[in-house]
Chain A
Amino acid sequence: MHQRPSILARTWTTPVILIAILLAVALAAVAVSTGPFNQTVIEIFIRVVLVVGLYVFIGNSGVISFGHIGFTCLGAYMTAWLTMLPAIKKSKLKGLPDIILNAKLQYGWGLLAAAVFAAVCAYVIGKVLMRLSGIAASIASFAVLAVIIQVYSNWDSVTGAQSSVVGIPIIRTIWPYFACAVIVVVVAYFYSISRSGLALRAARDEATAAAASGVDIPRERLIAFVISGAMMGLGGALFAHSVGVVTPDTFYLGLTFITLSMLVVGGMNSLSGAVLGVVVLSTIIQVLRWFEKGIDVGGTVLTIPNGVQEIAIGIVMIVILMFRPTGMTRNRELVWPGKKLSAEAGAMPSSADGKTAKT
């Protein structure tokens, strides 16, 4: 009897292509090798981690979550607590337990601890939240975000309340960020072809049939929630190490909006959509940022006022939702054979957009 090739054999090119795209971005940074551009590329990798984290839950389960940035906040503060100099902690964050207060770990341990801590919190919160579904779940996740941010912006002795926590060791090379982005993409890929991921997507597309076929929907959702929580925590920790400063306000609606719009523009239900969305929107944001700073065009400096960046992203998002609610990738994954958009997509991410449209 003819056997269908396994799902791994049919889809393994997707993560390879995505990693190639990320590698191309990294090599571009090495080639240009200026400080600001380096920082931009680091930002892109962090956003890849965050948006792929969002994809693992939102894309596979179909439940929109507005609360994931809360886990990012948890992760960022976790690594800050573990990796800062004990002297600074003793003067600013007196309320920490002694074992953390005296610790001075390498950033690798900070990242790991951030992911684990966020995953544990996601498990506890998810246990409660996954009983809800649809719109009620989205709004409850929003409430979770508000609770986390409120606790962190008032708990003076542990988080320094609204004032920023400074003195987190800064990592300036791009490779740790690149490595984390690759790990996250690979984990997300293996999750989505795993038994649990397939069951969850079945439940997303046809809840009744999935439940009748023995899929325990809350359980599968919880698994996705914990994995994505860990990724969000990792992303938060990377963020903390990239700028060296954290405040609770950083992790509120602004970041939620940016990451969610990247996922929507790319295509909510595909991993390729998550990565491409980040690359394309980051490019737009970067261009608008240059304009906000002022750009020299034929002797006159052209500047656009602050806020245009967000307005432009908002408009892009609405237009995409109106005319192409499945995003740039139409919710499909990039694959090697047959489709033309693979090799060049790596070199010129922004042109992948037009090519996807044709296929």
Chain B
Amino acid sequence: MTAILQILFDALSLGSLYALGALGIALIFGVMRLVNFAHGDYIAFCVFALLWPSIDAAAIVFAGNLPTFLLIPLILGIGAGLSVLSEILIFRRFRNANPATMMIASFALGFIIKYFLLMLYSSRPKSIDLWSNLSQQIEIFGARIPPLQVITICTTIVILIALTAFLKRTRFGLEMRAAAENFTMARMLGVRANRVIMLAFAISGMLAAAVGLILVTQTGTVDINMGANLMLVAFVATVIGGLGSLPGAVVAGFLIGGLSSLMQAYLPADARPFRDAFVYGAVIVMLIWRPNGLFSSKAVKQRV
């Protein structure tokens, strides 16, 4: 029972991270068919923002020492700002390009951000102490669980509820959903394209920042590659969920989180280092079974 509870919490907190990452990618894909390969580097950028303005090789936390109620909005704002900036400077010029071109452009942007960080901070991971008391374990029903997991899960639930409310209840949300459904038609009916897209980028950037904050609290290190692995999982989640489907991305994120935690717990010790390989293997098997994902949306179906 205790073991099951432990696995359940692991699965939910890992799944939350994946779901938030996948949501950030699916949002942008929904409005402009862009697979944003720079998303992982947004995450890394937000984490490095904790060190500002120091660019010392040893981690000197400056911005990270701000009180929590200032720090969280600051980092979220940086994420949103970076994301919107990349839209204005780069992706706006690709409005009429095909998705493959945009995908490669975002790949290049990701590299620019990553090597910009490398130039300033070098490639060595640094340790950083942010809310580390949240990782000390507490006992809940006999299972030893760090409060951070509980906070991660609760935050994710709150974000999901808030985002759903935003998308379903407000005018902006309606516009975004309409744009995701049929962008040309939405524009003809008076939806401002640039505003909707910028909004999607802003929300996506904030999600990246949230993921970054959770990651850095969990691991206690900052590293220019810290977003890459998560981004890969998030991509896979958006494909499994059906490209362009927001609920699909979230469900698939939790599914992959669950699968990883189960494998971590039940694979024989020799096979454990290959956990992710098994997870991706399972994903590929699933794609053969349903090539369009679990919740495929009409907009992305191939017509051949």
Interface residues of A (CB under 8 A from B): 62, 64, 66, 128-129, 131-136, 138-140, 142-144, 146-147, 150-151, 154-155, 207-208, 211, 217, 253, 257, 260-261, 264, 305-311, 313-315, 317-318, 321-322, 325
Contacts and interface: CB of A to CB of B under 8 A. Distances in A.
Interface in B63-112: 90, 93-94, 97, 99-101, 103-105, 107-109, 111-112
Contact of A138 (B103, B238, B283): B103
7 contacts: A135-B103, A138-B100, A140-B239, A144-B280, A146-B280, A260-B104, A325-B101
B269 interface: no
B119 A306 contact: yes
B223 to A, nearest CB: 14
A337 B99 CA distance: 35
Contact of B291 (A131, A260, A308, A318): A131
Contact of B277 (A66, A138, A151, A305): A151
Contacts of A260: 104, 107
Interface in B229-273: 232, 235-236, 238-239, 243, 273
B49 interface: no
A132 B97 CA distance: 22
B118 to A, nearest CB: 4
Contact of A307 (B119, B283, B300): B119
B116 interface: yes
Contacts of B99: 134-135
B169 interface: no
Contacts of B284: 128-129, 140, 143-144
- Judged by DSSP, the binding face of B is helix
Nearest to A263: B104
B94 A317 contact: no
Contacts of A146: 232, 276, 280
B116 A307 contact: yes
Given A62-B100, A306-B118, A325-B97, A132 B273 contact: no
Given A139-B235, A306-B119, 19 more contacts: A129-B284, A135-B99, A135-B239, A136-B291, A139-B238, A143-B235, A143-B280, A146-B280, A147-B276, A147-B280, A154-B273, A257-B107, A264-B104, A308-B115, A308-B119, A311-B116, A318-B108, A318-B112, A321-B94
Contacts of B90: 318, 322
B280 A135 contact: no
B1 interface: no
Contact of B243 (A131, A136, A261): A136
A64 B104 CA distance: 9
B161 interface: no
A64 B284 CA distance: 17
Contact of A253 (B104, B228, B274, B291): B228
B158 interface: no
A317 B101 CA distance: 11
B302 interface: yes
A260 to B, nearest CB: 7
A139 B291 CA distance: 12
Interface in B19-77: 35
B189 interface: no
Contact of A135 (B107, B118, B243): B243
A265 B114 CA distance: 20
Contacts of A144: 280, 284
Contacts of B114: 310
B142 interface: no
Contacts of B111: 257, 310-311, 313-314
Contacts of A131: 287-288, 291
B304 interface: yes
A168 to B, nearest CB: 24
Given A128-B284, A314-B108, A134 B302 contact: yes
A140 B238 CA distance: 11
B274 A135 contact: no
Nearest to B271: A154
